[in-house]
Structure 1
Amino acid sequence: MSETLDRQDATQLREAVRQRYATAAQLTLAGEPGSCCGPSGCCADTSADPITADLYDADAAPSETALGASLGCGNPTVLIDLAPGQDVLDLGSGGGLDVLLSARRVAPDGTAYGVDMTEEMLRLAERNRAEAGIENARFLRGTIEDLPLPDDSVDVVISNCVINLSTDKDRVLAEAFRVLRPGGRFAVADIVLLRDLEPRLMTVVELWTGCISGALTTEDYQAKLRNAGFDNATVQLTREYTDEDLHDLAGTVEDALPDSLTVADAVTGLAGAFASAFIRADKAE
């Protein structure tokens, strides 16, 4: 499996992603936090997932529910300074934590938008917004490949471990560039590959929906940002993963592995292959 996918494969992957994150939202709506970023799948204990754990200051979260619903691999709100009056867009906003944190920082005159394709996540985000009492946050249904916003409409684009899930990353970055105003900034947290994965791992759908096998290499990420029109593209690694982390992540996808691949093989194949990162770029004035 690679980023070059035929239409059927792309449709199937998008549906697998939607189903996985819908399940996570349903768990949280039912009172159980669900973690899906990382091949460990949707579970009730986000602290057990090294990709999602310990990314936010709990005291600064708008609500405990919003914090528990976070499924990212970083904290994009620490990536960039936001000012009152700015407009911010979160690509794949999920339960809304980063939108709500951003909305506080751009209040009272700025707006924080979140776009997500999953109806269950949008319901969860609206519930979290209401519980936090935040009025300048807006959640929109749509895909990150076809954003429901006009040209030159936001000052900052953020995202948290979502772009790696797209089967058309060139389109995502072109859309991000389109909606940014001149002088706007792109600042996302994402998983990046440090080397190519072996083909046997690339065929495991759970590793795509788990944020790994669909990730770009650092070089490809920067090149795609430049091709989309961005300047000053940088990738800063923020977290790499130990063998213990990988055993925790890989063990729960044992049933999805091909017959030729054991959990030990998967851990060996993933070791040193990926990391969490901050990715930044600018749109010229």
Structure 2
Amino acid sequence: MGDGIKGRVRERYAGLAETSGSCCEGQVGALTGGGYSEAEPGEVGGASATSLGCGNPVALATLSAGEVVLDLGSGGGIDVLLSARRVLPGGRAYGLDMTDEMLALAEKNRAESGLTNVEFLKGEIESIPLPDSHVDVVISNCVVNLSTDKPKVLAEAHRVLKPGGRFAVSDVVFLGRKSGLPERVREKVELWTGCVVGALERDEYVRLLLGAGFTDVSVEVTNEYDAGSVDGLTTDEEKDVFRRVPAASAFVRARKA
């Protein structure tokens, strides 16, 4: 991740850790299509107020007792704590984040949860501080799109997974060619969908996962966003262009052979 963009991401999320805001300033809820069940927020107490994602990767991952889970860009820790409950007995959940303020918030939420099979790590998703073949499942919630080196992120996810391990991510994707978006529209949309940087095209996501060595790759759209409600698209022309190359939240699945 470039130093300038990385600094912007860190600064933004440091502020969100203190305000419990959304990375997309209230827009994420429209992309999730619900995301969590009514019961799940109650499982993690105050951590539920700090969810900054675009879906529910924990449900996507179908976790089992004894598994080891890693959440890339874990933020306030809701998905780590939900995972930790689902892998008991015998399992463990790691959260990885580069922001000190988010890590402090996650530790606070962990303490309040009473869970002991949780560990939060400081680091970047392009360089995961875990050994090879260490985890059964990699999850992430609207974070991969923030990286400017997505092939490295996916390669690292593949490295730390055990053979047969699962990649189960909620993310934002473009449903078409971003090159079809004029630069002025692409900048506005990417600031919204990526919260800073921008999303991959759906087909590009598949290609990069296959290139990283994954198999059984799929990208399932869960909620396409209405161009008429995207902040920053101010003209009918801009909205029409975005309708032709829309963004959506998606479940991204893959497996390490």
TM-score, normalised via structure 1 length: 0.82
Higher deviation after alignment, 194-203 or 155-164: 194-203
Q: Which residue in the other structure is 1:24 paired with?
A: 16
Query: Are 1:210 and 2:195 an aligned pair?
Result: yes
| Cα-to-partner distance string for 1:85-139 (whole Å, 9 max, x where unaligned) | 1100001001101100000011121100010011111111111111111111111
Q: Say if 2:74 and 2:140, in contact at 8 Å, map to a contact too.
A: yes
Structure 2 residue aligned with 1:255:
none
Give the CA deviation at 1:18: 1.3
Cα contact 1:88–1:158 (8 A) shared by 2: yes
1: CA distance between counterparts of 2:169 and 2:103?
20
Match of 1:240 among 215, 224, 237: 224
> Which of 143, 166, 177 is the matching residue for 1:162?
143
**Aligned residue for 1:250?**
232
Kindly tell me the number of residue pairs found equivalent between the two proteins: 251
In structure 1, list runs of 5 or more residues that go unmatched: 1-6, 28-32, 252-261
The answer as to 2:7 corresponding to 1:35 is: no
Q: Does 1:101 align with 2:82?
A: yes
Give the AA of the match of 1:56.
Answer: Y
Corresponding residue for residue 253 of structure 2: 280
Q: Aligned partners of 1:153, 1:250: CA distance in 2, in Å? A: 42
- 2:106 aligned counterpart, secondary structure: helix
Query: Which one of 162, 177, 190 corresponds to residue 158 of structure 2?
Result: 177
Deviation at 1:218, TM superposition (A): 0.9
Aligned residue for 1:22, secondary structure, equals helix
Q: CA RMSD in A?
A: 2.1
Letter in 2 for 1:26: E
Q: Is the 8 A contact 2:32 2:223 kept in 1?
A: no
Residues in 2 aligned to 1:47 and 1:203: alpha-carbon distance in whole angstroms: 17
| Residue in structure 1 matched with residue 99 of structure 2 by the alignment | 118
Match of 1:59 in 2: 39
Range with bigger deviation, 196-205 or 47-56: 47-56
1:183-198 matches, cutoff 5 A: 183-195=164-176, 196=178, 197-198=181-182
> Which of 122, 127, 135 is 2:116 aligned to?
135
User: For the Cα contact (< 8 Å) 2:132–2:161, is it kept in 1?
Assistant: yes
CA contact (8 A) 1:25 1:69 kept: yes
State the alpha-carbon separation in 2 of the partners of residues 198 and 78 from structure 1: 36
Report the secondary structure of 1:50's partner residue. Answer: helix
TM-score between both structures, scaled by the size of structure 2: 0.90
- Residues 172, 194 of structure 2: 8 Å contact kept: no
Change (3 A) 1:77 1:90: same
Q: What secondary structure sits across from 2:30 in the alignment? A: coil
CA distance in 1, matches of 2:79, 2:69: 10
Do 1:193 and 1:218's aligned partners in 2 also have CA atoms closer than 8 Å?
Answer: yes
Q: Give yes or no for contact 1:87–1:112 (8 Å, CA) kept in 2.
A: yes
3-state secondary structure, aligned to 1:219: helix
Q: Match for residue 204 of structure 2?
A: 220
